[in-house]
Amino acid sequence: MTIEIKTATLEPIRNTFAHIERRFGDKPATRYQEATYDVQSEAYFHYRPLWQPDKELNDPSRTALKMEDWYAFKDPRQFYYGTYVQQRAKMQEVAESNYSFFEKRKLADHLSEEVKRKIIRCLLPLRHTEHTANLNNMYASAYGYGTAITQACLYNGMDRLGIAQYISRIGLILDGNTGDSLKEAKSYWMSDPIWQGLRRFCEETTVTEDWFEVLVAQDVVMDSLMYNLIFDQFEAKLSESGNHDVGMLTEFMQLWAKDTNRWVDAVLKIAAAESEENKTLLEGWIEKWRGKAEEALSLLAHEAVEEGALQTAREALDKRLAKAGLFK
């Protein structure tokens, strides 16, 4: 007896959704494409917002920046919900291992009181700035246009809550989970002169109406300067004085900044390349907020690192801006 095995090929009637096909052709789409492109509603709203009757619910005129296609802001990380959660879960696993190792080995006991005071005064108050960064990115997510950029802003906003919690945990590790360091850090945030400029900057960004300008002020200018100052230069200064273990507690922030800067730089580059008007607008926003940010960070930079630290942070920002095609 012979057995004859036959195979049959079933051709799919269609390879993807119609709106994805219109953009990329009738071919299998990536999950990022299916979860991102043309997802936002653009028509058939029931009513205009009662608090802003001159706007649609999703309205590109909420920013002065102009784009022919708002879905041009492709995330180089290809983050949609699934990939975002998976990647952050891996980062959190490493961070939790670092914090557990630090606590288990009681490495905080090897830090001098002077170093602990420095960390409490110059690092812990940043948990308040991270909450502001959360608000600013959630604002951009709520009022931005096009899922390609609004979902990335949403992920960024949620990241900032996580970073604020990690900074708080650093304080709890230092004070033996009493919370005294967090109370002390809040008192610095509320009254210490080195933080008042940053408080002013945070308040000003949260009342800025143009969502893309808020994105520039927070994710481009302030994050670049502040992360370079604290999580690069300040951490390096602690390591040079023999406090290498502190780097275990700030590794998540360093890795996160490197990852997020890829998206931020891509957004800048795409927006600037769209038109000369956009390029001029972005450069004006950057100049405006860079001046405010440098003034806000000047005392903190001197106290946390040294004279000239802010200039080093600015040079790092300038390099990123040049790569994005700005100020040329």
Cβ atoms of 325 and 269 within 8 Å: the answer is yes
How would DSSP label each residue in 170-191? HHHHHTTSSSHHHHHHHHHHHH
3-state percent helix, strand, coil for the chain, nearest multiple of 5: 70, 0, 30
The 10s digit of each residue's pLDDT in 5-48 is 888 888 888 889 999 999 999 899 999 999 999 999 988 887 88
Q: Kindly list the distances between the CA atom of residue 286 and the CA atoms of 57, 201, 205, 218, 294, in Å, as whole numbers in the listed order.
A: 28, 14, 13, 10, 12
> What would the two tokens of residue 238 be?
């602690």
Residue 182 tokens, joined = 């967090």
Question: Tens digits of per-residue pLDDT, 109-167?
Answer: 999 999 999 999 999 999 999 999 999 999 999 999 999 999 999 999 999 999 999 99
Which CATH number describes the domain made up of 75-323? Answer: 1.10.620.20
Q: Where are the domains of the chain?
A: 75-323
Nearest to 297 by CA among 162, 174, 118, 125: 125
